[in-house]
Amino acid sequence: MAALGIVDHVGERHLGLFRTTRYPEKNHAPEAALLKGVEAALRGGASDPRTTALTALLYSAELLGKIFPAADQGHARELANDYWPSRAVAGELRMIRLAEAEAAT
C-alpha cells in the first residue's frame, strides 16, 4: 500500500533505542471507494466478487454493525450464508469465544 501511495512508511527511533514503524494514511480515496462499494452491496446493488466477499466476512466477524450501524444486515446475512469462507470465519470466532469462556472458569 505504501508503494501505491495509499499510506506513508514512517520509521522512527525513540530514545535512540526503540525503532517503531507507522503507516499513516496518505490517500483516503481507496478506503472511501471501498466503503461506498460495501454500502451498495448492503442495499442489494450489484457489486464485484471482492466487495461481496468482504461484506460477507465483515458480517461473519460481527464488524459490519460497527462500521455501518444503520444498515439493514439482512442482505449481508444472505451473502455470508452463501460464501463458505465467511461461515468458516464465524465458526472459528465461535470456537475462540468458547475457549475464552472455558479459560475464564
Query: What are the pLDDT digits (tens) for 2-18?
Result: 898 899 989 888 888 89
Q: Hey, how many other C-beta atoms are within 10 angstroms of the C-beta on 19?
A: 9
Bin 43: left if φ > 0, else alpha if -120 < ψ < 50, else beta.
alpha
Q: Does residue 47 have a pLDDT over 80?
A: no
User: What are the boundaries of each domain within the chain?
Assistant: 10-104
Compute the 3-state secondary structure of the chain and give helix, strand, coil in percent, each to the nearest 5.
55, 10, 30
Q: Is the pTM of this model over 0.85?
A: no
Quickly count: other Cβ atoms within 10 Å of residue 67's Cβ: 11
Residue 33 pLDDT level (bands cut at 50, 70, 90): very high
Contact 53, 61 (CB under 8 A): no
pLDDT tens profile 62-81:
898 899 988 888 888 888 88
Using the predicted structure, report yes or no on whether residue 45 has a pLDDT greater than 80: no
Q: What is the pLDDT of residue 82?
A: 84
Block residue for cell numbers 464488524: 63
